């Protein structure tokens, strides 16, 4: 089985969030099941400079008005097709934002071009790779099934995965004429969305199947409170919708071999975790006492419930807790957390920015991680935390609800608790959860048991990759 994955980010080449982790790990997990995936990604500078022995495979003379070269390369087990299009991707900034933090004005074109190239590959422009199915991730790739449907590759089945329905790729209708779609694609069952052009909306209408990244989130996005305007579109295609929880790359995230942490450890050698705890305290200038260390590794946004944190920190410290925060995002939230860290020197530490090695040390050294998201399609940080014996304290929503077993009385008795869940998702709900966590932490035997149960949880891709493989097979055999 040959799969073309179309994605705007892929770990370890370029990452802004969980999408990159999934796009980078799923192909490797599928390979073990005999499925070959090639990943089409934009040729951002960060990608181009990491390619070894790139091979030119195809030239688009006029890709929505741009000249582009499709380059084949291999990187850390991934088979890549990189869309080298300097006019669209060779510029300073991140994958989506310019250096001042604003969306690139031509994002509509940057990702339409990616999708168009994906549909051309599906149509067979490469003589040695004819995909049996195309898997498009998020709005940036969601026009791929649209171009396929209205173009040459309409017989090839496709899957759109929604990693976060909050990001929909909506643009003014003035761009429609430049997308080179037929006029009838600008309709309710196509890309038209309240008079504008909706990339994700078009993808949801056009893909053979829709997946999202946890069963709970699949149920939630059918509701107006989570669907963000697309609930009707999704409900109309409910039969084609499924939720498959993300796994993590258990090689990269393995506390027994992780080179980014201060000392390796495993479930049988949990005591060695203390060395990571000490390193963490040194980095964040936290007191080296026995109070529980909470961590946060997150985009600092409302979605992630980060505005609740300034409301609970004083109480957390009063109850003997400490907090180490790694994140960036909303500047008001950055400011509020920084001011908490100066108010509570030795108890709260803060590093602003994106720092992959430090995120590993935090998982290895902190006692518990706070994930108070208002909605969370799957969430990865709690999965890393489980694997690292860092007890997740999570809001009861989406993938958080599906992957953490709350330490309630029954789960403690049954020895299956792996963390703490809370609801309602409010400052008070979070405060209560922190109190409960601190109480659990005080009972060392119980705490170690919860840590070990979390470390035993299967967070690998094995089960989820098998579910994707099943889905792919059923779609391919249905359209054969």
Least Cβ distance, residue 57 to ligand ADP (angstroms): 31
21 lies in the site for ligand ADP, by CB under 6 A: yes
Q: How many CA within 13 A on the CB side of residue 113?
A: 27
For ligand ADP, which is the closer residue by CB, 145 or 377?
Answer: 377
266 lies in the site for ligand ADP, by CB under 6 A: no
For ligand ADP, which is the closer residue by CB, 147 or 217?
Answer: 217
For ligand ADP, which is the closer residue by CB, 355 or 432?
Answer: 355
Quick one: 36 exposed, middle or buried, by C-beta within 10 A (0-12, 13-18, 19+)? middle
Least Cβ distance, residue 16 to ligand ADP (angstroms): 8
In 402-471, DSSP assigns E strands to 420-422
Distance CA(309)–CA(337), nearest Å, equals: 8
Residue from 356, 428, 443, 458 binding ligand ADP (CB under 6 A) = 356
Report the SS3 class of residue 122.
Answer: helix
Least Cβ distance, residue 153 to ligand ADP (angstroms): 29
Cα–Cα–Cα angle for 332, 432, 293, rounded to 5 degrees: 65
Residue from 381, 418, 437, 451 binding ligand ADP (CB under 6 A) = 381
In 147-264, DSSP assigns E strands to 158-162, 170-171, 192-193, 196-198, 209-212, 241-243
Contact 270, 407 (CB under 8 A): no
Beta carbons within 10 angstroms of residue 188's beta carbon? 10
297 lies in the site for ligand ADP, by CB under 6 A: yes
380 lies in the site for ligand ADP, by CB under 6 A: yes
327 lies in the site for ligand ADP, by CB under 6 A: yes
Least Cβ distance, residue 143 to ligand ADP (angstroms): 21
Q: Which of 385, 188, 367 is nearest to 298 (CA)?
A: 385
295 lies in the site for ligand ADP, by CB under 6 A: no
174 lies in the site for ligand ADP, by CB under 6 A: no
Contact 368, 388 (CB under 8 A): no
What sign results for the dihedral spanned by CA atoms 198, 203, 204, 205? positive
Contact 116, 180 (CB under 8 A): yes
For ligand ADP, which is the closer residue by CB, 148 or 378?
Answer: 378
205 lies in the site for ligand ADP, by CB under 6 A: no
251 lies in the site for ligand ADP, by CB under 6 A: no
For ligand ADP, which is the closer residue by CB, 164 or 464?
Answer: 164
Residue 51 tokens read as 């390619």
Distance CA(7)–CA(22), nearest Å, equals: 10
Q: What are phi and psi of 329, to 5 degrees?
A: 155, -125
Q: What is the size of the binding site for ligand ADP (CB under 6 A)?
A: 18
398 lies in the site for ligand ADP, by CB under 6 A: no
214 lies in the site for ligand ADP, by CB under 6 A: no
Residue from 354, 457, 466, 467 binding ligand ADP (CB under 6 A) = 354
247 lies in the site for ligand ADP, by CB under 6 A: no
Least Cβ distance, residue 294 to ligand ADP (angstroms): 15
* Residues in touch with ligand ADP (CB under 6 A): 17-18, 21, 164, 297-299, 326-328, 354-356, 359, 378-381
């Amino acid at each position: 089985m040959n799969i073309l994955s179309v994605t705007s980010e892929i770990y370890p080449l370029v990452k802004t969030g969980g999408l990159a982790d999934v796009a980078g790990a799923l192909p490797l997990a599928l390979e073990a099941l005999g499925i070959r995936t090639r990943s089409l990604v934009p040729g951002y500078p960060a990608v181009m400079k990491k390619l070894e022995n790139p091979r030119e495979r195809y030239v688009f003379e006029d890709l929505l008005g741009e000249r582009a070269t499709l380059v084949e390369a291999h990187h850390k087990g991934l088979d890549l097709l990189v869309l080298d299009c300097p006019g669209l991707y060779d510029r300073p900034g991140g994958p989506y934002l310019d250096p001042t933090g604003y969306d690139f004005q031509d994002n509509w074109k940057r990702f339409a071009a990616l999708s168009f190239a994906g549909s051309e590959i599906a149509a067979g422009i490469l003589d040695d790779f004819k995909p049996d199915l195309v898997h498009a991730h998020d709005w940036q790739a969601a026009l791929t099934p649209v171009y396929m449907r209205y173009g040459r590759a309409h017989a090839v089945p496709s899957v759109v995965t929604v990693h976060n329905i909050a990001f929909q790729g909506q643009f003014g209708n003035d761009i429609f004429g430049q997308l080179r779609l037929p006029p009838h694609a600008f309709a309710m069952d196509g890309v038209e969305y309240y008079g504008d052009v909706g990339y994700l909306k078009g993808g949801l209408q056009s893909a053979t199947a829709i997946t999202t990244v946890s069963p709970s989130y699949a149920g939630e996005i059918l509701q107006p409170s989570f669907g963000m305007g697309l609930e009707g579109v999704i409900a109309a295609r409910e039969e084609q919708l499924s939720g498959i929880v993300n796994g993590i790359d258990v090689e990269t995230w393995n506390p027994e071999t992780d080179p980014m942490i201060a000392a390796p450890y495993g479930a049988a050698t949990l005591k060695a975790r203390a060395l990571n705890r000490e390193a963490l305290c040194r980095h964040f200038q936290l007191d080296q006492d026995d109070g529980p260390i909470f961590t946060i590794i997150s985009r600092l946004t409302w979605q992630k419930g980060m505005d609740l944190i300034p409301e609970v920190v004083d109480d957390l410290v009063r109850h003997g807790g400490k907090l180490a925060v790694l994140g960036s995002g909303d500047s008001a939230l950055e400011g509020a957390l920084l001011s908490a860290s100066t108010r509570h020197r030795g108890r709260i530490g803060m590093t602003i920015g994106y720092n992959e090695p430090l995120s590993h040390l935090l998982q290895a050294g902190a006692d518990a991680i706070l994930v108070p998201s208002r909605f969370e399609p799957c969430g990865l940080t709690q999965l890393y935390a489980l694997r690292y014996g860092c007890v997740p304290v999570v809001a009861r929503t989406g993938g958080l609800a599906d992957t953490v077993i709350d330490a309630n009385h029954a789960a403690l008795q049954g020895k299956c608790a792996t963390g703490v869940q809370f609801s309602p998702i409010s400052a008070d709900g979070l405060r209560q959860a922190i109190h409960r966590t601190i109480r659990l932490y005080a009972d060392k035997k119980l705490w170690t048991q919860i840590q070990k149960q979390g470390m035993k949880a299967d967070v690998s891709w094995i089960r989820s990759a098998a579910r994707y493989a099943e889905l792919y097979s059923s779609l391919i055999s249905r359209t054969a």
